[in-house]
Amino acid sequence: MLITKPSCSFCSKNEQEVELLVVGKGSARNPVYICSECIDRCNKLLEEDRKIRKVTV
């Protein structure tokens, strides 16, 4: 069985390359991870989208 190190499912950085790696729901064989950098990027995109929606409403 091949054992792989956990890495972000979005950017592929491993736990040594990021500040935090969060495990999400997935299967026991194929867990899903997201790193703090990708979380920050997602939060910025959501914030921008909210601003656009407020302007267009």
Give me the pLDDT at residue 2, please: 67
Number of separate domains in the chain: 1
How many Å apart are CA 22 and CA 36, to the nearest integer? Answer: 8
**H/E run at residue 55:** helix 36-56
Domain containing residue 27: 1-57
Write the pLDDT tens digit of every residue in 2-57.
667 899 999 999 999 999 999 998 787 889 999 999 999 999 999 999 998 888 76
Give me the pLDDT at residue 53, please: 85
